[in-house]
Amino acid sequence: MKKKMKDHKLQPESLMMSHGYRPEWSEGAIKCPIFLTSTFVFKTAEEGKAFFELAYGKREKAPNEELGLIYSRINNPDLEILEDRLCLWDEADGCAVFESGMSAITTVLLEFLSPGDVVAYSTPVYGGTDHFLNHFLPKYGIHALPFRPGEEKEDLQKKLSTGDLGKKLKMIFLETPANPTNTIIDIQACKRIADIFSNDEKKVFLTVDNTYMGPLWSHPLKHGADLVVYSATKYIGGHSDIIAGAVLGNGEVITRVKTLRTFLGNMAGPYTGWLLMRSLETLKIRMEQQQANAVKVAEYLNDHPMVKNVRYPGLIKEGTEAYEVFKKQYSGTGAMVSFEIHGGEQEAFEFLNSLNLIQLAVSLGSTESLAQHPKTMTHAGLDPDHQEEFGISDALVRLSIGVENYKDLIWDIDQAFQAVEEFLKSNGRNINA
């Protein structure tokens, strides 16, 4: 007899092709169609009334009752099925998808922060997040307090204990590993701080931007995060062809996020939902291949005489504190590799301009490998002192490793180094190795 699926717990990668969708809903179509529709027909007026009662929170859900389809700003099958599938990777109760990573992040900040509140955030964070924290939120009387990687161990608690910062603390926002330096922040240590400053009147929410390592190698909800945010443009989308975002957490926080999403109207459209479902089918094999390639590239770079240092989680030394946090938090080493070339901007640019296969572009997590110069590109907006402090130097190059054959990637990097060497020689200089 055919065994029931419920007798066996399937892994997320086994469920990405089918979870949450039934072919009989759509003429037997094996794939969930794109529901290009703005509105949905109610069977009866009573049904329409019942759906709206739930949508507006006028009554509690009955057991097994689901919010019916109303209008595509509130819900749409392509979004709901995608959200169900994304929940599996992070073992979250709920998910809300957005038209960009920035709309996911800003909706969370707007929903959980009020005038007078303080949000502590790790540095560096994504440029867009940094801008919103420091240039938009202050207009609403919300204060953003930066902290450095490592400060979560004790200094952050001390900092928050001065004046009324801790009393006003409402959220800790983390991005780990930090882009572009791959610095790791201890999520559990931040959770302890969030708990210390929580009381009966207010909860301090812990939010983690998991774009760099998730949803495959990192599951912040398991380490105490309340909310996980993603730029789904990156690994989740994975093909450099869509902009999207997602938020995951327990039922209560996701209801709040979805309610604000309904009024901001920044949900993803059905076509984006469909493309992301297609992407999720290959998420694991893509990310695993990217990681395997990144390990080879990082090892190659680590041995190259033109390379000053390599920043890759796979190269963190055993026995260090950073290694302990890395081991606890991540099940993989990722596919983002940064390195400093000997020299400065000129050498870095010569290297970037000499690449053939690896494309010169920002963004990350896609099937094709990308290279960029953080100091003058993704992190150009940072204060020069902060660039220096975080190690975003003239010589730093960031690579996002794709699914190509790693030998071709190494060949490309190798010939680009040779081009830099020739360039230096023709200018009467040597690499200062």
Ligand X SMILES: *Cc1c(COP(=O)(O)O)cnc(C)c1O
- List of residues contacting ligand X (CB under 6 A): 100-102, 126, 128-129, 175, 179, 209, 211-212, 231, 233-234, 243, 245
Tell me the residue number closest to ligand X, measured at CB: 101
Report the alpha-carbon distance of residue 150 to residue 390 in Å, rounded: 12
Segment holding 118, helix H or strand E = strand 118-122
The residue among 70 and 371 lying less far from ligand X, judged by its C-beta, is: 371
Choose between 178 and 420: whose C-beta lies nearer to ligand X. 178
Of the pair 69, 244, the CB lying nearest ligand X is at 244
Question: 113 vs 125, which CB is nearer to ligand X?
Answer: 125
Least spacing, CB of residue 244 vs ligand X, in Å: 6
Which of 94, 125, 28 minimizes the C-alpha distance to 259? 94
Least Å distance between CB 158 and ligand X? 28
Q: Give strand pairing partners of 122.
A: 147
Closest separation in Å from C-beta 245 to ligand X: 5
| Nearest residue to 391 (alpha-carbon basis) of 379, 405, 377 | 379
Closest approach of Cβ 361 to ligand X, in Å?
Answer: 12
Which residues, 6 or more positions from 298, have their beta carbon under 8 angstroms from its beta carbon?
310, 312, 314, 315, 337
**The tokens of 339 are what?**
């390195």
From CA 170, how far away is CA 401, in angstroms rounded? Answer: 36
Q: Whole-number minimum distance, CB 426 to ligand X, in Å?
A: 37
Handedness of CA 100, 106, 109, 114 (dihedral sign): negative
CB of 365 to ligand X, least distance (A): 8
With tokens 């060949």, the residue in question is: 411
Q: How far is the CB of 362 from ligand X (least distance, A)?
A: 8
Which CB, 160 or 397, lies closer to ligand X?
Answer: 397
Contact by Cβ (8 Å): 308, 111 = no
User: Are 228 and 248 within 8 A, CB to CB?
Assistant: yes
Residue (of 396, 92, 358) closest to 246 by Cα position? 92
DSSP label at residue 52: H
Residue 69 or residue 120: which is nearer to ligand X going by CB? 120
Closest to ligand X by CB, 70 vs 96, is: 96
